[in-house]
Structure 1
Amino acid sequence: MRQTRLPPRIVALRALPCAWMAAAGLAPVAVRAEPVSAVVEMFTSQGCTACPAAEPVMRDLAHKPGIVALTLPVTYWDYLGWHDTLGLRAHNERQRAYARARGARQVMTPQAIVDGTAAAIGSNRPAVERLLREAGQTTPLPVPVRAEVQGNRIVVEVGASEPAVPVPAKAGKLDGKDEVWLVPLLKRRETEVEGGENDGRVATYVNVVRGLERLGTWTGQAARFEVPLSAAAVAQADSWVVLVQHAREGRPGRILGAAKGPGL
């Protein structure tokens, strides 16, 4: 496990520009969708010697019903001799924002974040599974989300929060700052590491995040969003997920709902 201390200031997560979006109110009823019970984000690096042990954890989670498992390679270990071929600085910023929200002074790899609030060492399978149980692994996330491809568009429907979505105090109130995100990803990628501490190893990732595109704001009422299918076809991405996430002071918070894209 590697750690790095947070800088004095943190850059808030920024949304990528959305090519086109339409939102319209729908009847305040639950949206029928395959239930998602938890979202696990794994922050990792090809240059971290402790990170390969987290890869089988993610592969297993990705095959569990109701779990959205996302791999987010970071770049802050690139100075060790190998530049992560999948790393994005936006992932660094997202992980640091999570740390600041929890009052943590350091970030580490591998690190698992469950539902945007709880953290564990990513290679510690019992710890990750404990967080999933505490999050209610068999209980769907409180906000129903349905997403599907219709022609050349991705259509997202987010259900209304009725009854009111219970949100822990640490996650903040539902105050109109909840956001809907499209997350393009690579379903699987094997990369041979040719330098640094993992020289000669092959990193085998599932559901590698290749971007974050903000579709709009969710206010608690049923809403519909549309975006061109091309918005998900970035950096060799071959699928996507949708997240509904609380935002607090520009930082990502509790994940309230999610939907899987094709082949996940």
Structure 2
Amino acid sequence: LKKNFDSAYRLYDLSVVFLEKSLKILKTGIGCLSFLTTNKFISAEYGLKIRELLLRITEIKEILNISSLPIFKNTAAYPIILSCKKNNNIKNTVVIKNYDNIADFKQLHSKNLIKFPQNIIHSLPSFIIPLNSDANLINFLYANFKPLSIAIKDLNILYRPFGFIKWAENFKYMNKNKVSDKDIILLGTGNVGKYFINFNKRIKIAKVDKEISYFTYQPAYKEVWSKLSSEKLVFREISKELTFVYDPEFLLI
């Protein structure tokens, strides 16, 4: 797929490949497309190439943000409906409608409507498309203030420090009891709340269903441990809004 699709970038989701193929089929000037898909590609790293393509060859007419609605039961999915037209987009205005309940969505009545010029997205980091924020304000902030990565000299950003694909192999290092002072608490995505940890929620991933456990220290991960051995913010990877918790010590991962 990576040989035939530019959107097949990094740890991509198959939905972006279908979106790219659909855009290629559309006729310039008249072709329109509406896509029910996950919202993750509009901000995640893997979505960079498809965002570039959307901005380059389409007018993003409307995004219906239905990520708060119970569309897919028992699934951690945060969907949007993206509508675009394959056309020159110099003067296009993006309309984003956020829905908090089914009743408003059925009436297509959005209490939270956001509009901004599409060309503003070009000045945002990695062409991220904001769903719940004022794009003009974000653009102003980045134009006038330094990002944290520059303002904080010794800032380290770690993403999936134990690997991207084979991390499930590390479950053998889970232990209900703390063996040494170097052991850390292993969290699942669902355990990270907004400024708190839900210790009662079980870790359910890759056919594993366990209580929150300790990750016993492994010499093979000595470098990872050294990077984690300070105060940090732990961000929830899959979430409809920015969610993180503060770890004052070497406790969590």
TM exceeding 0.5: no
Q: Give TM-score scaled by structure 1 length.
A: 0.24
Q: Which structure carries more strand by proportion?
A: 1
Greater Cα radius of gyration, structure 1 or 2: 2
